């Protein structure tokens, strides 16, 4: 199970996705923990069993048990936060921003790994889930913490490529002919 298995599974028309998947996972300037935590959190955010299965094993080979759990926590908490904060933003009534969310999210304050790594994973998941408010918030924390725009961009590229991989493979599975019953 691996990045290579996903690359091999991608159809010819997705050559750019295949090349990008190899590139974002092999030429990154992110630390191994930042890279593989981002890959794992993004795989989980796609909800594609195939992509999760292939990438979780490789991420597990490159992450401590604590970082693996924290990447899963980032995907989980952002699945909730991205819906809530995107919705309050899209309603268009600024009064919602002044109301307390009343949602437990203590993992953001105590993720079990370096705070900036966790924030990076939250940012990448927020890109997949399309929450502008969360993207702005996590990007600010990352920039204030000293992370460069180039490293933040790498996480966004990983999110884009992992998402494209999942979308392509899920579409191919849906388009596959159904076997005739015997």
Tokens of 27: 């030429």
**pLDDT given for residue 177 in this prediction:** 81
Alpha carbon distance 135, 86 (integer Å): 10
* pLDDT of 54 over the 60 cut: yes
**pLDDT given for residue 180 in this prediction:** 67
Mean pLDDT of the chain: 95
**pLDDT given for residue 1 in this prediction:** 55
Active-site residues, by number, are: 131, 134
Alpha carbon distance 5, 21 (integer Å): 11
Tokens of 139: 């990007």
3-state secondary structure of 109: coil
Weakest-pLDDT range from 37-51, 66-80, 99-113, 139-153 = 99-113
| Structural contact between residues 36 and 58, judged by C-beta atoms closer than 8 angstroms | yes
Closest CA to 82 of 111, 122, 39, 52: 122
Instruction: For helices 115-129 and 149-175, give the axis angle rounded to 10 degrees.
Output: 40
**pLDDT given for residue 71 in this prediction:** 98
Predicted TM-score of the model (pTM): 0.93
* pLDDT of 60 over the 70 cut: yes
Alpha carbon distance 83, 1 (integer Å): 31
């Amino acid at each position: 199970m691996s990045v290579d298995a996903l690359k091999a599974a991608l159809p010819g028309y997705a050559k750019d996705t295949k090349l990008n998947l190899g590139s974002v996972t092999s030429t990154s300037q992110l630390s191994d923990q930042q890279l593989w935590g981002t890959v794992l959190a993004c795989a989980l955010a796609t909800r594609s069993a195939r992509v999760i299965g292939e990438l979780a094993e490789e991420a597990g080979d490159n992450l401590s048990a604590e970082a693996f759990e924290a990447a899963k926590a980032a995907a989980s908490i952002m699945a909730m936060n991205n819906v809530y904060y995107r919705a309050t933003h899209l309603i268009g009534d600024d009064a919602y921003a002044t109301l307390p969310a009343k949602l437990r999210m203590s993992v953001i304050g105590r993720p079990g790994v370096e705070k900036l790594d966790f924030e990076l994973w939250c940012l990448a998941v927020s890109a997949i889930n399309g929450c502008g408010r969360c993207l702005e918030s996590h990007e600010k924390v990352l920039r204030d913490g000293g992370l460069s725009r180039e490293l933040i961009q790498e996480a966004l590229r990983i999110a884009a490529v992992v998402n494209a991989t999942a979308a392509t493979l899920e579409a191919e599975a849906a388009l596959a002919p159904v076997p005739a019953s015997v």
